[in-house]
């Protein structure tokens, strides 16, 4: 007797509650990490402290924070042998997210605790991974420009070091603050596609590096983290404010998606987009290129009027990064450098209360076929 599974299919798992979580929550238009609103954290916290909060379910004391920051600082550098290996990964004509996926996987080969899945080892590995993401991404940029990667500066934040290693210059304090806020805003987002990928991999009791590599692969796609890069490419393709409305109307008429709009969960707006919108206005004007904000704002109004969709985190972050002079294809890797804090928190939570994810698929294919020998088959 053939069993056919006939439960209702929730395509894309919309509305399916797959696990309990206390990492971050989305309730209507409010996003909280461990109970604190993202607005509160963006204004008062910074990325390292936010990562501590996500991993420990509490804000750190001054001593705890100093100790966590110093562990990160000590872990930012790459093993010289690893640098020699990553130099061999093709960096030209390859997407930085594909390069990053390979490079993060390689980190495991240089981590003596890679196979140790104990709570303590996972915490140490998580700190090393968090600390090295920015070092890897900026190494990629240096390598494709034909330069030697720069070493991180101890005692400086992850945001400071990212901008320093990217440009080779001491970054401006205001830009460090802006970048740090972006890291805080992208740190976690409940059971998004890449957090779920992390948890699915962790649920087989696979190791931390494997879980993070799965997440990077999921984030890369244009329907998830890859959208921020697509937004800037779209703005450049539109070219002028005057063309913006026409572009949107034509795209919608052709049933094309406008990148940076829509969300599976938020139906009344993404709180991160509201913060990034203000940052985009300020920064594009600061560099004398306010037309990028004007264009974005007009697209925002048009998509809302025509389709009732609101911007998500990726829409205004594109022009924020652009104003900072960051290469467009690094926007998604930056998302990964932040979101790794959330992925790790989800992996910790999954390991602590695990059951392997194993849903069913509803069979819609043929049944009862009999094997035919190759010489009897017709094309």
What does the binding site for ligand COA look like in residue numbers (CB under 6 A)? 12, 223-224, 227, 257-264, 307, 309, 312-314
For residue 260, what are its two tokens? Answer: 């940076």
The strands making up 24-27's β-sheet, listed across from edge to edge, are 24-27, 30-33, 36-37
The residue among 160 and 261 lying less far from ligand COA, judged by its C-beta, is 261
For residue 140, what are its two tokens? Answer: 């990629």
The residue among 171 and 262 lying less far from ligand COA, judged by its C-beta, is 262
Q: Identify the active-site residue in 188, 314, 329, 346.
A: 314
CB 96 → ligand COA: shortest distance, Å? 18
For the question of residue 314 being annotated catalytic, the response is: yes
Query: 208-219 and 119-144 helices cross at what angle (nearest 10)?
Result: 40
CB 231 → ligand COA: shortest distance, Å? 7
CB 11 → ligand COA: shortest distance, Å? 8
> Taking a C-beta distance cutoff of 8 angstroms, is the pair 336, 100 a contact?
yes
Q: Identify the active-site residue in 263, 270, 300, 346.
A: 263
CB 311 → ligand COA: shortest distance, Å? 8
The residue among 224 and 282 lying less far from ligand COA, judged by its C-beta, is 224
Q: Which has the closest alpha carbon to 74: 156, 187, 142? A: 156
CA angle 113, 135, 352 (to 5 degrees): 40
The residue among 245 and 264 lying less far from ligand COA, judged by its C-beta, is 264
The residue among 32 and 143 lying less far from ligand COA, judged by its C-beta, is 32
Q: Which residue has the tokens 């795209």?
A: 251
Q: How many CB atoms lie within 10 A of CB 166?
A: 22
Phi, psi dihedral angles at 30 (to 5 degrees)? -110, 125
Q: Please give the Cα distance from 126 to 37 (Å, whole number).
A: 24
Measured from each CB, the residue nearest to ligand COA is: 262
Q: Please give the Cα distance from 209 to 103 (Å, whole number).
A: 11
Residue 191's beta-bridge partner residues? 189
The residue among 208 and 318 lying less far from ligand COA, judged by its C-beta, is 318
CB 222 → ligand COA: shortest distance, Å? 6
Q: Please give the Cα distance from 4 to 7 (Å, whole number).
A: 9
> Taking a C-beta distance cutoff of 8 angstroms, is the pair 32, 38 a contact?
yes
CB 97 → ligand COA: shortest distance, Å? 14
Q: Is 220 exposed, middle or buried (0-12, 13-18, 19+ CB in 10 A)?
A: buried
CB 224 → ligand COA: shortest distance, Å? 6
For the question of residue 263 being annotated catalytic, the response is: yes
> Taking a C-beta distance cutoff of 8 angstroms, is the pair 358, 331 a contact?
no
The residue among 156 and 263 lying less far from ligand COA, judged by its C-beta, is 263
Strands (DSSP E) contained in the chain are 24-27, 30-33, 36-37
> Taking a C-beta distance cutoff of 8 angstroms, is the pair 292, 315 a contact?
no
Q: How many CB atoms lie within 10 A of CB 268?
A: 9
For residue 36, what are its two tokens? Answer: 């604190």
Q: Show which residues are catalytic.
A: 263, 314
């Amino acid at each position: 007797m053939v069993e056919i599974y006939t439960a209702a299919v929730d395509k894309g798992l919309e509305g399916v509650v797959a696990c309990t979580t206390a990492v971050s929550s989305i309730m209507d238009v409010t996003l909280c990490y461990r109970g604190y609103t993202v607005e509160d954290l963006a204004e008062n916290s910074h990325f390292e402290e936010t990562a501590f909060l996500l991993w420990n379910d509490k804000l750190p004391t001054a001593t705890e924070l100093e100790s966590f920051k110093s562990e990160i600082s000590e872990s930012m550098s790459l093993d010289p042998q690893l640098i020699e290996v990553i130099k061999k990964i093709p960096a030209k004509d390859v997407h930085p997210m594909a390069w990053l996926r390979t490079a993060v996987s390689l980190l495991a080969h240089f981590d003596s605790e890679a196979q140790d899945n104990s709570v303590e080892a996972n915490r140490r590995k998580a700190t090393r991974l968090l600390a090295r993401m920015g070092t890897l991404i900026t190494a990629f940029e240096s390598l494709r420009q034909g330069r030697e990667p720069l070493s991180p500066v101890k005692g400086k934040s992850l945001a400071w070091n990212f901008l320093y290693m990217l440009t080779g210059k001491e970054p401006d304090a205001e830009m460090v603050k802006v970048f740090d806020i972006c890291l805080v805003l992208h740190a976690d987002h409940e059971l998004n596609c890449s957090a779920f990928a992390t948890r699915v991999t962790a649920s087989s009791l696979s190791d931390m590096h494997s879980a993070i590599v799965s997440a990077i692969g999921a984030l890369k796609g244009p329907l998830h983290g890859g959208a921020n890069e697509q937004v800037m490419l779209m703005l450049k393709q539109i070219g002028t404010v005057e063309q913006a409305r026409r572009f949107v109307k034509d795209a919608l008429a052709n049933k094309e998606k406008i990148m940076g709009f829509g969300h599976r969960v938020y139906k009344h707006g993404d709180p991160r987009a509201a913060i990034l919108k203000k940052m985009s206005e300020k920064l594009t004007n600061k560099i004398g290129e306010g037309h990028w904000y004007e264009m974005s704002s007009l697209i925002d109004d048009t998509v809302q009027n025509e389709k009732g969709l609101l911007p998500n985190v990726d829409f205004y972050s594109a022009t924020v990064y652009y104003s900072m002079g960051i290469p467009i294809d690094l926007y998604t890797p930056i998302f990964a450098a932040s979101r790794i804090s959330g992925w790790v928190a989800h992996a910790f939570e999954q390991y602590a209360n695990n059951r392997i994810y194993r849903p069913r698929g509803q069979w819609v294919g043929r049944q009862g076929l009999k094997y035919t020998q190759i010489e009897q088959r017709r094309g």
